Amino acid sequence: MNVDTISNVLEEFAPAALACEWDNVGLLVGDPAAEVSRVLFCIDLTEAVLDEAIERGCEMVMAYHPVIFRGIKSVTPASAPVVFRAMQHGIAIHSMHTALDVAAGGTNDVLAEVVGLSQSQPLEPVPAPPECKLVVFVPRDAVESVSAAAFSAGAGRIGTYRECSFTSEGVGTFYGEEGSAPAIGEAQTAQRVPEIRIEMICPVSAVDSVQAAMTAAHPYETPAVDVYPLQPQMAPLGMGRIGTLDSPTSLSTMVDRIKAALGVEHVLLGEPAGGARELSRVAVAAGSAGDSFRAAMAAGAELYLTGEMRHHDVLAATGAGMAVVCVCHSNSERVTLAKLTQVLAPQLAPVELLVSSACRDPFTIV
C-alpha cells in the first residue's frame, strides 16, 4: 500500500476540512507513491520518536502535531532537523491534529470515554464541511469498480458510516459521432443502454479527486458525472465534548479514573472553594483548550478535563464552582493513538500500525 492510499484513509476518518484555519494537517512530508509496510503513530515526532521509527522499519509516521506548522524557508539539519532526517530515510509524515479533535471517534470522543460519558455532544459545535451529491451513470457490470474508486477517493461517507451510496436502474441513450469510440455499440448509431444510476455524498474539497477516480474507473469514453450542491448544515461535530454521567461520581473517584485511563501518576486539580459536590455533568477538551472552560460552565459542567489552562482561567473556573483537572498537554491526547490504530487497522491491512513507545509529554510532575 502506498503513502497516498494511507493518507486518503486518514483523511476519510478526519477530513482536513474539519481542522482549524490556523492548522496544518494532511501529508506534510514524503512521496505519495512510496510503498509502506509499517506506520508509527505518535503525538510529537521528536528525535527519539524518529529514531524509533527508523529502528522499527516504519516508512511512514502519523504525527498528531504537525512537524511543519508555520512556513519554513529551508529544510536543513539546522533549520528542520526532524524533517530533514525523515526525508533522508524516506519516511513520510502525515498530521491529523485539530481535524482529529473534531472528528467522530477522534481525540475528544476518546477523552469523553475516559471520564465515562457514554453519550456526549460537542462542547463547541462547528458547521459541517460543505458537501455535494455526485451522480454517475454506469453499465451494470461497472457498478462495483466505479463505486470502489469513488469511495477510495473520499466519497460516500456519512457520519461514522463509509461506502454509502444509492443505486437505481434506468436507460441511457447516446449517439457517438464520427471519430468516437463507444464502449458499448458502434459509432454513428443511436444506442439505448440499460444503466445504473449511482448517487453518493462527497465533500466539496474532494470533488475533483473523486471525479477523476470515477472517470479513470469508468468504461465509457466520456462518462457523465453530475454534481449537486447540498444545503450546509450544522454537524454534530465540534471541539470538546459535554455530557452527563450514567451515575453521580465523586471528584476523587473521577480523578482516579482519569489517572488510570491516561497512565499518569499525578494530575493538576483545581477544586472549588468548599469542595466539589458529586459530579453528574462533565466536559472535556484535549490539548491546550483552556479557553473553552467558559463554554463548559455555560453548559452546566461540574468538572472540566483538559491538557492545560492559564492560571487566572483556573481561578475563574473554580471560583464559579467548577472543578478543573489538567493532565499536561499531550497526556490528554496520547490515549487516542491506540484506539485510532484499532479502528484503522482493518482498512489499512496488511500495513502494520504501531503506537510509539518513545512518545511522551515533555513535562513530568515530580
Question: For the chain, what is the HEC assignment?
Answer: CEHHHHHHHHHHHCCHHHCCCCCCCEEEECCCCCECCEEEEECCCCHHHHHHHHHCCCCEEEECCCCCCCCCCCCCCCCCHHHHHHHHCCCEEEECHHHHHHCCCCHHHHHHHHHCCCCCEEEEEEECCCEEEEEEEECHHHHHHHHHHHHHCCCCCECCECCCCEEEEEEEEEECCCCCCCCCCCCCCEEEEEEEEEEEEEEHHHHHHHHHHHHHHCCCCCCCEEEEECCCCEEEEEEEEEEEEEEEECHHHHHHHHHHHHCCCCCEEECCCCCCCCEEEEEEECCCCHHHHHHHHHCCCCEEEECCCCHHHHHHHHHCCCEEEECCHHHHCCHHHHHHHHHHHHHHCCCEEEECCCCCCCCCCC
- Give the rounded percent of residues in the chain with a pLDDT score beyond 70: 99
| pLDDT given at position 337 | 97
Chain segment 310-344, per-residue pLDDT in tens: 999 999 999 999 999 999 999 999 999 999 999 99
**Is residue 199 within 8 Å of residue 165, measured between CB atoms?**
yes
Pairing, β 26-29 against β 92-95: antiparallel
Instruction: Give helix 143-152 / helix 207-217 axis angle, nearest 10°.
Output: 150
| pLDDT given at position 12 | 86
**Is residue 218 within 8 Å of residue 136, measured between CB atoms?**
yes
Burial class (CB in 10 A: 0-12, 13-18, 19+), 128: middle
Beta bridge partner(s), residue 354: 40
Chain segment 276-305, per-residue pLDDT in tens: 778 999 999 999 998 999 999 999 999 999
Given the candidates 3.20.20.70, 1.10.4190.10, 3.40.1390.30, 2.60.40.10, the CATH classification of the domain at 107-126+238-327 is 3.40.1390.30
Give every CB contact of residue 22 below 8 A, 6+ residues apart in sequence: none
| pLDDT given at position 192 | 84
Structure confidence at residue 129 as a pLDDT band (50, 70, 90): confident
| pLDDT given at position 318 | 95
Q: How high does pLDDT run on average in the chain?
A: 92
| pLDDT given at position 234 | 58
The pLDDT of 347-358, averaged and rounded, is 96
Structure confidence at residue 236 as a pLDDT band (50, 70, 90): confident
The fold of the 3-96+334-355 domain, in CATH, is 3.40.1390
Chain segment 241-281, per-residue pLDDT in tens: 999 999 999 999 999 999 999 999 999 999 998 777 789 99
* 131-229 is classed CATH 2.70.150.10: no
| pLDDT given at position 3 | 96
Structure confidence at residue 201 as a pLDDT band (50, 70, 90): very high
- Give the rounded percent of residues in the chain with a pLDDT score beyond 90: 78
Can you give the residue ranges of every domain in the chain? 3-96+334-355, 107-126+238-327, 131-229
**Two domains, one topology: 107-126+238-327 and 131-229:** no
| pLDDT given at position 228 | 94
User: What count of other Cβ atoms lies within 10 Å of the Cβ of residue 351?
Assistant: 20
The pLDDT of 126-139, averaged and rounded, is 87
Q: Count CA within 13 A, CB hemisphere, residue 149.
A: 21
Torsion angle (degrees, nearest 10) of CA 305, 267, 42, 27: 40
pLDDT score of 350 more than 90: yes
pLDDT score of 219 more than 80: yes
Length of the chain: 366
Give every CB contact of residue 258 below 8 A, 6+ residues apart in sequence: 114, 115, 264, 267, 305, 325, 327
| pLDDT given at position 160 | 66
Measured between alpha carbons, how far is 39 from 356 in angstroms, rounded to an integer?
A: 10
pLDDT score of 128 more than 90: no
Chain segment 32-77, per-residue pLDDT in tens: 999 999 999 999 999 999 999 999 999 999 999 999 988 788 999 9
Cα angle at 29 between 25 and 32, to 5 degrees? 100
Out of 81-85, 187-191, 265-269, which region has the weakest mean confidence (pLDDT)? 187-191
Cα-flanking dihedrals φ and ψ of residue 206, to 5°? -110, 5
pLDDT score of 233 more than 70: no
* Locus of grid cell 458510516: 161
Pairing, β 166-175 against β 268-270: unpaired
| pLDDT given at position 222 | 85
